[in-house]
Amino acid sequence: MIDFLDVARASCESSLQVKAEFVKQGLEDVIEAADALAGAFARGGKVLVFGNGGSAADAQHLAAELVNRFILERPPLPALALTTDTSIITAIGNDYSFDEVFSKQVKALGEKGDIALGISTSGSSANVLLALEAAKEKGLFTMGLTGQKQGGMTSLCDILISAPSLETPRIQEVHGLVVHLLCELVDLKLFGHSQ
């Protein structure tokens, strides 16, 4: 007989443990990323965010919080999730390869002074890596959110924020926290006050 309370408690404890470890080792990277984002916005740049599956949801979450608002009432900030235009994604996937769905958008929309932020729990998603390569070639500042393995993202990201776990759910839970931290810190840096 499965004790569902024990299962739920164990998952929560695992999540809390990974987040506690991240607080010990990852917050400086988050602050550095928030500095870079705030600087890009202050100079008229934008952020292009991309990932697959749950990471696509995280990309859209970050873009929504920046364009609309997080907690503060403040002007919209320029952010694009490259995961949302099904016509572009399916055209590229059909005519070329799913591996190119983000890189072609980075090539079309990215400009020097912008930030490309790739999200991959494994660090090895081919379309995320190709988009980061394209961003580097165009002179964009590159950032990544990943897990403990980091994969090919290590050499492609100017700032890489890693969740200290090999389990996708735990990594995604840290990424959700990072999205909120970035929004809060960017607001503070640009608008000088918090909630």
Q: For the domain that residue 132 is a member of, what is the CATH number?
A: 3.40.50.10490
Write down the residue that tokens 């999730």 correspond to: 81
Instruction: Give the pLDDT mean for 146-162.
Output: 97
Measured from the Cβ of residue 79, the count of other Cβ atoms closer than 10 Å reads 23
Position 182, amino acid:
L
Annotated binding site for substrate: 52-54, 65, 94-95, 120-122, 125, 172
Annotated binding site: 52-54, 61, 65, 94-95, 120-122, 125, 172, 180
* Known binding-site residue numbers for Zn(2+): 61, 65, 172, 180
Number of domains making up the chain: 1
For the chain, state the CA radius of gyration. Answer: 17
Q: Where are the alpha helices (DSSP H) in the chain?
A: 4-25, 27-42, 54-67, 86-95, 103-109, 126-138, 168-191
Instruction: State mean pLDDT over 17-21.
Output: 98
Q: What is the pLDDT of residue 192?
A: 84
* Host domain of residue 112: 4-191
- Say what the pTM is: 0.96
